[in-house]
Amino acid sequence: VLTRLINDPRIYRNVGRIPPAQTVEETRRIQAERAAANAAGKSAGFCAYLDGDLVGMAGGGESADTGLVDFGYWVAPDHWGKGFATETAAAVMRWFVNIQGRREMTAGYFPDNPGSGRVLEKLGFRKSGESRYFCLGREMEVDCIDMYWPASADTLNAYLEDTQ
């Protein structure tokens, strides 16, 4: 199911690290690599389900350059516009804040996918710049809007779990 969903061009063209026409074997290999990174505390990824059906994923990996989590998500097109992206991403951000103690994260989106930028803004991310990024799904370098999430009093309180 995962391979079928991410082979939709509306997904792989907007998630920089998913190649087009990914095979089931490639999906298994990539997920095994991610599981190893998760076990090492360098990343985390979570699936979102609705009535037992996979509707998306959210997570991130620690940048070797900055030590910050580079956050990302995707939602199956059949579920766009229903709040799943924001809900799923917020739940995973809570995990990064409460379990890994993260207080800063980065993310990015492509200018031709402004909906993703709106989701990131709802989560508390703010524009930090622009860059060029090699998108595997588009098989080319494209413009990217860089985003940054700082743990200010306003943004952090939205993600800290009540421990009382």
Is residue 37 within a helix (H) or strand (E), and if so which, with residue range?
helix 24-39
162 pLDDT tier (thresholds 50, 70, 90): low
72 touches 60 (CB < 8 A)? yes
Q: Quick one: 2-157 is in which CATH superfamily?
A: Gcn5-related N-acetyltransferase (GNAT) (3.40.630.30)
Give the pLDDT of residue 50.
Answer: 94
Beta strand 104-109 with 69-75: parallel, antiparallel or unpaired?
parallel
- What DSSP line would sit under 39-74, residue for residue? HTTSEEEEEEEETTEEEEEEEEEE-TTT--EEEEEE
pLDDT category, 163, cuts 50, 70, 90? very low
Predicted confidence (pLDDT) at residue 89 exceeds the cutoff of 60? yes
